Structure 1
Amino acid sequence: MAFRYPNGKLYEKKVTTSKKTDDGNANRGMTLEDDLNASIHHYLQIGKAVIHKKPTPVQIVSVDYPKRTRAKITEAYFRQASTTDYNGIYKGYHLDFEAKETHQKQSFPLKNIHDHQIEHLNAVTAHGGLAFLILRFAHSKETYVLKAEDFMKLKAETDRKSIKKDDIATLGIFVNPSILPTIDFLPAVEQLFRLNV
């Protein structure tokens, strides 16, 4: 869409050559999410596990129809707070987990996991499911699987706004990078929960 000044002159966006250093929260964790989606697709294809990303419930309020084939959503709201990112089943065990990525080098911000997600993970654990977090430190490209109850313990023990990476590495399991699947997290889940499968 072309924008014009009141005098009719066409607006031209200035091209900047400076490198953008902070994109805020936009697309935060998308690299981890893309890698996980590819990994769970691989698990499904080889029959190892059935895991799916949960859709976020959205209420569409307004749609613009410039052409019949070009509908554009102009206003939408989240219906309710989402629980966790993924759930599924692996060798008879219910899996429910949240995936988060941080660009901090030595700590994981607690604000990245919301209270309603913690409540949901607690409920899954109370009913015998395997509730955990997959946490990635983007700077060092390190990924860990951490039990939800260990995350809650670390959160309760700190007066900081973050959890140290060293504490996550101590209680969690490091996920070795691989080619296919990109994030082979099921062996880490087996080790973390001491599954006899």
Structure 2
Amino acid sequence: MLSSPLVLTLPPSIQLSDDQFFELCQINHDLRLERNLKTGEIWIMTPAGGETGNRNFSLIVQLGSWVKQDKTGIGFDSSTGFRIRGATKDPMSPDAAWVRLERWNALTPEQQQKFPPICPDFVVELRSPSDTLKSLQKKMEEWVRLGIQLGWLIDRSGRQVYIYRQDGSQDCLQNPETLSGEMVLPGFVLDMSEIW
């Protein structure tokens, strides 16, 4: 089993600006870094194991195929960090995300190049062996608070999918064969046989 994130605590006298943190992430591009804005801690996230990475790849391929055909938005993989006002972590990084094209095009080229200051319309979190279900549920609740329209938390070990919506409604599906993108991603259906 993979370990929990390594936590680097900075003294209060060291305050990294947004640009400095972005530069730190670029210099250490092999690491996935997140910053807790309340405590000033920097979390060094462990990479995914082979099985989780493979399932996440299958998820990205399916979402990417739909994005390419639909053309109403753009997709992102787990290496993308979103800088969202009001978030407790900076940046927030889902395993997969999608943003409506008109919202993405409203950003400046510099904003698109760095950590985009936008909350995705759709996010997916795929639970890995090092994740606790409770921590990911809290993360999904934060995504809803920050403005996602639809979110999926896929728990492979329990063969459950937790669905989160902007209106606060939630569902828990037991071993579904497919997932629907509902009105947010019309026509997108995720084949869960490639994820389980």
- What band does the TM-score fall into relative to the shorter chain? 0.3 to 0.5
